[in-house]
């Protein structure tokens, strides 16, 4: 059964695409097959996927929106027994965001703990709520120093909005842009780092809250740079109406590769 999660925010630069990439790697670690639908014309996830493929790092399938639309794409992934579809969305109020939400099981709103960004969360909550999607909020690019009150104040503001907020705030760290530049995520770039621990907590929370919970879990996969970096090179596939899809080189006929043997518990 495929689980579809849209990641959204009305504000630019808060960390939506970064969150999608990090969660896609958490999926790979959990032995789940994952597809990213990059609905943003900026195509940052797509470029990241290309970098990974070039470097021979296992890639989630990264595709643009096809002419069939998001719903049609998800149907085809359902048939191909993909476990998780993550949809990256643009910061603008475009129809593709509604289409993404409509095709999703749940929504994840990303915000920095700044008043300017928090103000826009209300609108994202309204849009996701209108489609009755289970919705969570993650504070992203937060001051790493816990003595700074920005996160506490942000939580208070989000509580007033009735938001379901992840107890772990993702800290600001230069590791995120550095990781992007080399086609990685921070949990891969610094396996012992703080980002990895925070992202693992976020992953656990998403499951507890039922935002990514209906998946069947695979056996924990090795991290790509824990031994799979020498995997066969990925390759660019056919063009849809946007960026090229990035396909793992070891993709089987039934769909995207699972990067480990999986032991389904359900
Ligand atoms: N936790 C973090 N700490 C520091 N920098 C981060 C963090 N997360 C993301 N960034 C950086 O912030 C910038 C914006 O991130 P990202 O592209 O994910 O945002 P976005 O919300 O998808 O933006 P857009 O609305 O333009 O699509 C990038 O340079 C990214 O590397
Ligand atoms: Mg983005």
Q: What is the DSSP string of 199-211?
A: HHHHHHHHHHTTS
Q: Is 35 helix (H, G, I), strand (E, B) or coil?
A: strand
Q: Give the pLDDT score at 265.
A: 31
Q: What is the torsional sign of CA 171, 174, 177, 180?
A: negative
C-beta 177 within 6 A of ligand 1: yes
Q: Which residues surround ligand 2, an ion (CB under 5 A)?
A: 16-17
Q: Give the pLDDT score at 38.
A: 97
Q: Are 132 and 105 in contact (CB under 8 A)?
A: no
Average pLDDT of the segment spanning 243-255: 36
Q: Looking at the CA of 12, which ligand is closest?
A: 1
Q: Give the pLDDT score at 214.
A: 59
Percent of the chain predicted with pLDDT > 90: 76
Q: Output the CA 76–ligand 1 centroid distance in Å.
A: 30
Q: Looking at the CA of 38, which ligand is closest?
A: 2
Q: Is 246 helix (H, G, I), strand (E, B) or coil?
A: strand
**Helices 95-102 + 115-130 axis angle, to 10:** 60
Computed on alpha carbons and rounded to an integer, the radius of gyration of the chain in Å comes to 17
Domain boundaries, the chain: 3-245
C-beta 40 within 6 A of ligand 1: yes
**Helices 16-29 + 194-208 axis angle, to 10:** 80
Q: What is the side-by-side order of every strand in the sheet holding 61-64?
A: 134-139, 106-111, 3-8, 84-88, 34-38, 61-64, 244-247, 235-239
Beta strands in the chain (DSSP E): 3-8, 34-38, 61-64, 84-88, 106-111, 134-139, 235-239, 244-247
Q: Give the pLDDT score at 186.
A: 97
Q: Output the CA 262–ligand 1 centroid distance in Å.
A: 32
More confident residue, 236 or 84: 84
- Helix (H), strand (E) at residue 116: helix 115-130
pLDDT over 90 at 260, yes or no: no
List pLDDT tens digits, range 206-240.
999 999 975 554 433 333 333 222 222 233 332 23
C-beta 232 within 6 A of ligand 1: no
Q: What is the DSSP letter of 227?
A: T
Domain 3-245: CATH architecture, name and number where available: 3-Layer(aba) Sandwich (3.40)
Q: Are 2 and 27 in contact (CB under 8 A)?
A: no
Q: Are 228 and 57 in contact (CB under 8 A)?
A: yes
Q: Give the pLDDT score at 234.
A: 30
pLDDT over 90 at 197, yes or no: yes
Average pLDDT of the segment spanning 58-79: 92
List pLDDT tens digits, range 5-62.
999 999 999 999 999 999 999 999 999 999 999 999 999 999 999 999 999 998 899 9
Q: Give the pLDDT score at 215.
A: 59
Angstrom CA distances, 188 to 41, 63, 97, 176, stand at 26, 22, 29, 10
- Mean pLDDT taken over the chain: 83
């Amino acid at each position: 059964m495929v689980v579809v999660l849209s990641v959204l925010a009305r504000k630019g630069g808060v960390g939506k695409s970064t969150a999608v990439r990090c969660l896609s790697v958490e999926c790979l670690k959990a032995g789940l097959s994952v597809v990213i639908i990059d609905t943003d014309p900026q195509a940052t996830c797509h470029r990241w996927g290309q970098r990974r493929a070039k470097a021979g790092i296992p890639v989630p399938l990264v595709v643009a929106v096809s002419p069939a639309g998001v719903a049609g794409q998800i149907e085809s992934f359902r048939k191909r027994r993909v476990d998780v579809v993550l949809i990256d969305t643009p910061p603008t109020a475009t129809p593709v965001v509604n289409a993404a939400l409509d095709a999703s099981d749940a929504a994840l709103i990303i915000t920095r703990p700044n008043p300017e960004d928090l103000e826009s969360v209300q609108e994202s909550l309204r849009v996701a709520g209108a489609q009755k999607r289970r919705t969570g909020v993650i504070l992203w690019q937060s001051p790493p120093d816990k003595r700074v009150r920005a996160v506490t104040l942000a939580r208070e503001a989000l509580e007033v909005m009735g938001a379901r907020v992840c107890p772990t705030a993702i800290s600001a760290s230069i590791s995120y842009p550095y990781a992007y530049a080399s086609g990685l995520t921070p949990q891969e770039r610094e396996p012992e780092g703080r980002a990895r621990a925070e992202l693992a907590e976020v992953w656990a929370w998403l499951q507890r809250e039922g935002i990514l919970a209906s998946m069947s879990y695979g056996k924990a996969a090795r991290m790509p740079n824990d031994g799979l970096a020498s995997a066969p090179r990925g390759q660019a596939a056919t063009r849809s109406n946007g960026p090229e899809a990035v396909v793992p080189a070891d993709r089987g006929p039934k769909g995207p590769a699972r990067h480990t043997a999986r032991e389904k518990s359900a």
